[in-house]
Chain A
Amino acid sequence: MSDEFFSARDIAMHFGGIRAVESVSFDVQRGEVFSIIGPNGAGKTTIFNMISRIYTPTAGTLNFDGQDITRIAPHRIARLGIARTFQNIELFTNATLLQNLLIGRHSHSTAPLLSQLAFLPSVRRAEVDHRKRAEEVIEFLDLQRYRDQLIANLPYGVRKVVELGRALCSQPKLLLLDEPSSGLNTEETEGMAFWIEDIKKDLSVTIIMVEHDMKLVAAVSDRVMALNQGRILAMGSSAEVQGHPDVVRAYIGGEPEAPRVESVAAA
């Protein structure tokens, strides 16, 4: 048993014949930004899904904050202090921004059901407290003017930020960001880089980030891990990994997508 903040030991994920992830091990130190890069289908999102317990690893163990989380129930992960965002944005689209952030507070609500049905004073106090926390996040991410809007009516770039905010509302110790810059334009991507820095420095949250934009990766990462076809290619500083011959080969060797050196404005 290691006393690392987070560690994955020989984890594997097989879907029938597909070996999406195969004997991957890595540690993440408290307070660092650890990035995972790799071409499409490398298994990056699958690793996140194992950590948030949507998938149960075929083999290996996951440890977080001194606890084995390999087989814990998925809804318990948030309470332990792990929050995430999704590659394709999974917000509650028919609720307002504020409601979305308040749902992010769910792991901190302890009121028994009956006291909620009766809206006892203790529930009211807790609600005011949740609201204060949500407002702090709104201010932190500069979302004031969208507070009462339905997510369905917000532009894509804003939604990306809201999803980050919802994750922050749970006051996580570990934050998993799945392609935070995808779909953002250059300017928005720069904004995202600042926020990631702030989250790390001001809120001292540890971050694991999956990202294709190499400029963003280089700007915020302490360490980078490159993955291809479910296996680790290289691990080290951003420059080391980007220059690693195997990584270069994986990206240009007929793989669908090369690492983007510039941010690409997408839809």
Chain B
Amino acid sequence: MSQLKTSYEQDLSLAGTRSNVVWYGLLLASLLLVPLAFSEFYVGEMSFVLIYSIAGVGLMLLTGYTGLVSLGHAAFLGIGAYANAILLSRGVPFVLSLPLAGLISAAAGVAIGIPTLRMSGLYLAIATLAFGSIVVLVGEKWHGLTGGFDGLPVPTPSILGIAVEEPTGIYYLALAVLVFVLFVAMNILRTPLGRALVAIRDSEISAQSMGINLAFYKTVSFAISAGLTGLAGALFGHYVRHLAPDSFGILLSIQLVTIVFIGGLGSLHGAIFGAVFVALLPQAIALVRDDLPFGIGQLPGLEPSLFGLILVLVIMFEPTGIHGRWLKLKRYFLAFPLHQRTSFRRQKSYAKSERLR
């Protein structure tokens, strides 16, 4: 069981209880050992999971915590990837090109955040979808900058003169960036900024009455979300080593949205769980593909359809996602054998009869 808290400071510490510190420490230690214990193939796969986790945390801040859906987040991944690659190829050192890629993405986030300030729900989804397509189109047409359909090779990054090679170097790099991104995200969530985002998500009208400037915080949320996703993009570029505009289209955007919905909206754990799931699903499909009956495995659109199906099933039956399911299981085992059926039922909430007109 969790220990009793004795000071407000304890609630402000990142890991919470001492047992948590131990668990997260062990997790980090085993992640550091991955390249020593596994083959290059698995290290590459793990890098991919880490990169998706970074993007997942970025989108979680926007969608899970601020309540703004984006169907164009792959564009920020692309902007980050291209910005980093282009800067590198022009001689900017990686220690600068990586943060710059994040900042350029963040600026793009502001550019889409401001015109969509008054939108929410479906309208925002469509606006961001359009934004995503426009960015891909610009990437295809602006041959001089991006190489268009020919693609763009991504130079190998180096830090302090040491080349960061695929896959092990990129793995450690992605791990470091993920730790940084989680640190920032957790700071956001324990400060007025994060509370303002949650307030906007749950009730704009009372957020405003509490003194929260809606326009400002929505824009900030877009900027931070896009910036973090841009960092993921820069790493993604090094992971694939060759960029093409159409790899940052709607399919990738849907994968990113799937991460936050499957993981569980409003939870950083959820962003990670979701990223693990979404990054590894294609591999899992590939493994069982040949063994599936009736030739299902050979159907052309199998992977995207499966993503869609899972997304719909999760939204219908487990709206709190993998993280919510995990919490319920944890409660079950902690309370065993005293569990009550009711704690597994969805809590009835009082529907608001009438919103302010």
On chain B, which size bracket covers the interface? 35 or more
**Of B15-23, B96-104, B289-297, B348-356, which stretch is located at the interface?**
B348-356
A204 to chain B, nearest CB (A): 21
Report yes or no: B211 in contact with A107, Cβ–Cβ below 8 A: yes
Q: Among the listed A54, A74, A103, A124, which residue makes an inter-chain contact with B196, where contact means beta carbons less than 8 Å apart?
A: A103
**Of A24-32, A115-123, A136-144, A190-198, which stretch is located at the interface?**
A115-123
Interface string of B194-207 (1 = CB under 8 A from A): 01101101110111
| With A119-B187, A119-B191, A128-B8: A88-B353 Cβ-Cβ less than 8 Å | yes
- A75: chain B residues at CB < 8 Å are 208, 211-214
Report yes or no: A89 in contact with B208, Cβ–Cβ below 8 A: no
Interface string of B119-137 (1 = CB under 8 A from A): 0000000000000000000
- The complex places the Cα of A87 from the Cα of B354 at a distance, in Å, of 9
Q: Among the listed A103, A106, A119, which residue makes an inter-chain contact with B190, where contact means beta carbons less than 8 Å apart?
A: A119
**Of A90-98, A213-221, A242-250, A251-259, which stretch is located at the interface?**
A90-98
- A131: chain B residues at CB < 8 Å are 8, 11
Q: Is A104 an interface residue (CB 8 A)?
A: yes
Q: Among the listed A87, A106, A116, A128, which residue makes an inter-chain contact with B9, where contact means beta carbons less than 8 Å apart?
A: A128
- The complex places the Cα of A88 from the Cα of B351 at a distance, in Å, of 10
Q: Is A111 an interface residue (CB 8 A)?
A: yes
Q: Would you list which residues of chain B between 310 and 354 have a CB under 8 Å from chain A? A: 347, 349-350, 352-354
- The complex places the Cα of A183 from the Cα of B25 at a distance, in Å, of 49
Q: Is A102 an interface residue (CB 8 A)?
A: yes
- The complex places the Cα of A152 from the Cα of B213 at a distance, in Å, of 25
B84 to chain A, nearest CB (A): 21
- A42: chain B residues at CB < 8 Å are none
On chain A, which size bracket covers the interface? 35 or more
**Of A6-14, A56-64, A77-85, A232-240, which stretch is located at the interface?**
A77-85
Report yes or no: A118 in contact with B187, Cβ–Cβ below 8 A: yes
- B164: chain A residues at CB < 8 Å are none
- A146: chain B residues at CB < 8 Å are none
A122 to chain B, nearest CB (A): 11
Interface string of A47-72 (1 = CB under 8 A from B): 00100101000000000000000000
For A80, give the chain B residue with the smallest CB separation: B211
A173 to chain B, nearest CB (A): 14
- The complex places the Cα of A159 from the Cα of B203 at a distance, in Å, of 15
B351 to chain A, nearest CB (A): 11
- The complex places the Cα of A106 from the Cα of B195 at a distance, in Å, of 8
For A83, give the chain B residue with the smallest CB separation: B209
Q: Is B210 an interface residue (CB 8 A)?
A: yes
B4 to chain A, nearest CB (A): 12
- The complex places the Cα of A49 from the Cα of B220 at a distance, in Å, of 27
Report yes or no: B198 in contact with A109, Cβ–Cβ below 8 A: no
Q: Is B304 an interface residue (CB 8 A)?
A: no
Extra inter-chain contacts (16) besides given A78-B211, A116-B188, CB under 8 Å? A83-B210, A89-B352, A90-B356, A92-B198, A95-B199, A102-B195, A103-B199, A104-B210, A106-B196, A113-B220, A116-B187, A116-B191, A117-B188, A130-B192, A152-B347, A159-B350
15 residue pairs of the A-B complex, CB under 8 angstroms, read: A52-B208, A54-B209, A78-B209, A87-B356, A90-B356, A93-B202, A94-B266, A106-B211, A113-B193, A116-B192, A117-B184, A128-B9, A152-B347, A152-B349, A153-B347
